[in-house]
Structure 1
Amino acid sequence: MNKKIFLILWGNPDFYQTLVFLSKYLDKEGYNVYLFRKAPDKYNDLSKNLSFGKSCKIIKFNTYLKKKNFFFNFLNLIFFSFFCLKKYLKIKPKNIIFFNYNALYCQFLFYFFKKKGDNFIYHNFDFNISKNLKSYKEKLNSKIEFFLSGFSDFYIFPTFERAKIFNKYTNKSIKFFYEFKNCFPRNYKPIVSKKLFSKYRNFVSKKKKIICHLGSIGPSHNIKQIILSAKYINNNFLIIIGGISLGNYVEYLEEIIDKNNLNKKILLLKNIDRDIWFEILSNSNLGLCFYENHNLSHRHMAGTSQKFNNYLLFKKPMLVNDNVDFKKFKKKHDIFNLVKSDDPMSIAKNITSLINDKRRYNKIKKNMMNSFNNELNFEFQFFNSYKKILTC
């Protein structure tokens, strides 16, 4: 019985909770897990002390060319692909999971040495179709992705809606496409720090109702509108925005906060540790989960957004942007309220009304518990995807 499995990602796996949980789960199930990743650059690590399984072998590839431009990055990717190919020929795994577009270059090389019974799986966290892209480079990459994915045996996507769209650009039957939402395991026990209330004790009070927005601090998440909504809520509310800063966006948001005199209503925390992330969640009363209509993925975030599933894990009622995807999801899982997320006054009004409506608030919490236990958990997602396609 060959239970060797490769997980290949050209990037940092720490930021993909599904990959982390998958590696741990496979390791626990007796698979010999080999995780291939690009060696990390210096960065503030959101996922300190993250475990991918007791026996998981993490193989880091150190890039040869240190210049950061398209040409040198591509050459490093090619070197990485040959590096993985060498390991593939030596270790001979039966199952190989390629995460995201760049890993497909590895799959293309592997294909020429593929043996009968080898199982190639493409797990995509994010993609866009060519007609929605602006630059020639992005359009070319999109076309290459669809071509290279043709060598996959199975396909995994965070939502089946995205899978159906991707399928239109391939010649594969939809029966080879599966959904795997970014859910937490049922028995997941996060480590919660006590640093936040200690460091910001003059700012964060147990008496205040905390509204949080966690995740990337960058464009396309209506964060500016969230900040401006603080003008219309009373002083008993505190909005905490925490996560990984993208570029200089935090500085841009700080200017908005200062200009509108909202320093006592907004706490902006960039590049926070994972235990502080969970401390914020643990002490929050409400979560905000907004995605602007920026790309295909943002139009299909219901149930699979990482911040969405973090709120779900802690049973924190949430407000989400009012779009077709969330409306459709709400019919099955009534675990949030919809809001016009581009309107600060509407955000403020909905924050206040949901916090004050105890009946609705408690109903959402009860529904979240049922949805998490029955379907929106890692085990359920695994059973309906990888359980059906992994070979031994």
Structure 2
Amino acid sequence: MQHNSLIARFARGNLVLQILAGIVIGVALATVSPDLAKDAGLLGSLFVGALKAVAPILVFILVAASIANQKKNQHTYMRPIVVLYLFGTLMAALTAVALSFLFPTTLTLVTGAEGANPPQGIGEVLHTLLFKLVDNPVNALMSANYIGILAWAIGLGLALHHASGTTKAVFEDLSHGVSTIVRFIIRLAPFGIFGLVSSTLATTGFEALTGYAKLLAVLLSAMAIIALVVNPIIVLVKTGENPYPLVFQCLRESGVTAFFTRSSAANIPVNMTLCDKLKLDEDTYSVSIPLGATINMAGAAITITVLTLAAVHTMGIEVDFLTAILLSVVAAVSACGASGVAGGSLLLIPLACGLFGIPNDIAMQVVAVGFIIGVVQDSAETALNSSTDVVFTAAVCKSQQKKSQ
């Protein structure tokens, strides 16, 4: 009886406080017993695996059900959200350029990324994105190709829009069922975060990062400016309300989980649950959140820009204003094609380095530096990317709701 009572109290508890407790206990375990902390990493791997497993089917079912059951004259707000995604990514690249010029950094180049296979140009990035659209639906679900999943879900939803009420009800029930599974997995976040924190600290530590402290400072400062200055200004302009309650809630309930999972795809279920909590339009966020996990890449744009300009400063190359602006555009477009896996943005650095004639072998050494600092850089990048998906979706939904009142 007491056992059931403990479970019930845990299920009703404040999730954010429970996650904070998981972080503190994880840090303590890594400090006291590194070997035990490494074993605790199993909990983190299971949690991330569960999120990644449920996310593709959640997106597919939710989008198809939303479109199939959409009432006539009911509008979604995708266009303004996509505009904000692209604008925010470009602003992130420009911010990174400004900070890189104000605080130029040079690198101690290292090896270790020779086996990687970066894209050869913007054309290849866009080519890959286009072919993801026409991927086999089963393969898209298996490989978590969210562009392909969205394309098939939208197509199926439109096709079922005129289906019988019974068929639509089946999809609606399926979406509720999958959402229930998602809520159960998210309740286990404190255990997953505990495992991720303890194993990461025990395995990597932070000693290797000290040599790149200035580079990390520039990266994290740019990301903080976007999260705490630029995004709030965009929300303020869009809604006319104080943006910080929304921004801080998104950072707290989406950013923290994304920081430790280091995967925008794994954070899709977390973001959808947060959107539901914010009472946003389901027909909108069921599409905008998985799309944002693919193309809303402010953090990736910052990583590409800062590391590329660090390589430029290391090589002693002079950069004029127009070239820096061009780099921002290239970084923003490249970021939209960044892989959804941990460290995916790093493989786009050679593409940006090509603007300045930096040879590929040097660029790959810069990528290796990125992997060294990735324990912090990639975590912060994912937290910014994922929390911004909800911030922009919420800003547009709230703005449209105000107009319709």
Identify the TM-score tier after normalising by the shorter chain: under 0.3
| Larger RCO (CA under 8 A, 6+ residues apart) | 2
- The TM-score with structure 2 as length reference comes to 0.26
Structure with the higher fraction of residues in helix conformation? 2
Name whichever structure is richer in strand by fraction: 1
